[in-house]
């Protein structure tokens, strides 16, 4: 257990907790080395020894407070027997769905397919390097998973094929059931916090939020709380973070870089995470730290976990990450 959990529990902490989305990833040469020898990304996620090594890579370099398991939100479609590939310069590419077959998939089959992830968590949570630190497990939110499964690639807009799909409702229920299985197994294996990534929350109009975002995410958050584990929700670019927090009731909220942090600080009482634009890590040190300071000052009277408004970009120099972490840790 670490200071990120303490912060979410509203306890006082000695320094600002910090970790980064995509902290294990392509900006690290040691990751690229492993990745170049493992061309199948899903298989790499399903290799407990290698994914443990990748999970811990950023902790060997930086004084950060948590590891996030090296995995992907698209392992849920994979568990439901939809093929998932990553094409260079294209992103994820998913296969056709067989609804009838998909609905027959059992809990045993799902946990069997995803078992290497639970092995990874068991192996990693025992590692000395995570003493007094958190191990963050995660899932994609129901809406974001639904979009990937029906659109079969990252979406640009939300079309009728997604919102009016005759199998949409049944598929959502199957996704929720699978998310619960996956969260429960991650927690039993040693994940101390669960983050819920809703990367495509910003693409939905207000009138659809209840059905596709608030209702299913509330159910998942409630389920996770009942397991005794805290949730951080990241509904990227959602129209109103305040309304989302009031309805979904996550334990902490992760904000994107387009939302005005001053307004968020005024409106939201629960612990807040993130916000800084990852592009600042590509700029001069002075510019980067000035922006970091802005977030640290705005949230100085709040429970705040330092993080970015989206994942670290592949072009980032790891030395800048190091400088940023030191700055956050020394901030008083
Ligand atoms: O944050 C971490 O370090 C933990 C691991 C993690 C990955 N993906 C590894 C990954 C996490 C938490 C994710 C979440 C994820 N995956 C999201 C939600 C967050 C977000 O970015 O909005 C989404 C939408 C996905 C789906 C996904 N996976 C996409 C769109 C891509 C391709 C985009 C890209 O960056 O190339 C991936 C691949 C992926 N997942 C990589 C990593 C390190 C890059 C793999 C590679 O090509 O080497």
140-183: pLDDT as tens digits:
999 999 999 999 999 998 988 899 999 999 999 999 999 999 99
Average pLDDT score over residue span 202-217: 97
Residue with structure tokens 């634009």? 277
Q: What is the pLDDT of residue 180?
A: 98
CA angle 40, 42, 43 (to 5 degrees): 65
Q: What is the pLDDT of residue 332?
A: 87
Residue 3 CA, chain-centre distance (Å), reads: 18
Q: What is the pLDDT of residue 1?
A: 76
pTM of the predicted protein model: 0.97
**Nearest ligand 1 atom, CA 26:** 48
Dist. CA 8 → ligand 1 center (Å): 24
Distance CA 325, CA 300 (A): 17
Q: Does domain 3-330 have CATH number 3.20.20.210?
A: yes
Tell me the pLDDT of the chain averaged across its residues. 97
Sorted by sequence, the CB contacts under 8 Å of residue 277 that are 6+ apart come out as 257, 291, 308, 309
In contact, 62 and 30? CB cutoff 8 Å: no
Q: What is the pLDDT of residue 159?
A: 87
Sorted by sequence, the CB contacts under 8 Å of residue 332 that are 6+ apart come out as none
Dist. CA 311 → ligand 1 center (Å): 8
Q: How far apart are the first and last CA of the chain?
A: 23
pLDDT in tens, 7-64: 999 999 999 999 999 999 999 999 999 999 999 999 999 999 999 999 999 999 999 9
**Nearest ligand 1 atom, CA 71:** 5
Cβ(23) – ligand 1 distance below 6 Å:
yes
Domain residue limits, the chain: 3-330
At 14 the three-state DSSP class reads coil
Cβ(22) – ligand 1 distance below 6 Å:
yes
């Amino acid at each position: 257990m670490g200071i990120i959990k303490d912060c979410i529990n509203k306890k006082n902490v000695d320094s600002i907790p910090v970790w980064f989305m995509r902290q294990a990833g392509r900006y690290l040469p040691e990751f690229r080395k492993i990745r170049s020898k493992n061309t199948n990304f899903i298989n790499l996620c399903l290799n407990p020894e290698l994914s443990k090594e990748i999970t811990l890579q950023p902790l060997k370099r930086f004084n950060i407070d948590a590891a996030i398991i090296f995995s992907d939100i698209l392992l849920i479609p994979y568990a439901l027997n939809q093929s998932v590939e990553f094409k260079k310069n294209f992103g994820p590419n998913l296969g056709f769905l067989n609804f009838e077959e998909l609905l027959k998939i059992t809990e045993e089959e799902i946990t069997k397919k995803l078992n290497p992830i639970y092995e990874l968590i068991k192996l990693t949570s025992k590692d000395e390097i995570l003493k007094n630190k958190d191990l963050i497990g995660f899932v994609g939110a129901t809406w974001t998973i639904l979009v990937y499964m029906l659109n079969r690639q990252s979406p640009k807009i939300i079309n009728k094929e997604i919102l009016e799909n005759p199998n949409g409702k049944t598929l959502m229920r199957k996704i929720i059931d699978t998310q619960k299985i996956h969260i429960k197994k991650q927690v039993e294996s040693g994940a101390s916090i669960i983050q819920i990534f809703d990367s495509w929350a910003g693409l939905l109009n207000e009138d659809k939020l209840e059905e596709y975002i608030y209702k299913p995410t509330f159910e998942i958050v409630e389920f996770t709380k009942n397991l005794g584990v805290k949730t951080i929700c990241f509904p990227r670019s959602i129209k109103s973070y305040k309304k989302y927090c009031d309805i979904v009731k996550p334990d902490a909220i992760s904000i994107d870089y387009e939302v005005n942090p001053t307004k968020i600080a005024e409106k939201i009482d629960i612990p807040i995470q993130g916000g800084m634009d990852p592009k600042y890590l590509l700029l001069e040190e002075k510019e980067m730290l000035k922006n970091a300071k802005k977030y640290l000052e705005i949230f100085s009277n709040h429970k705040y976990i330092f993080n970015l408004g989206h994942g670290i970009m592949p072009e980032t120099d790891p030395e800048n990450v190091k400088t940023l972490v030191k700055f956050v840790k020394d901030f008083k």
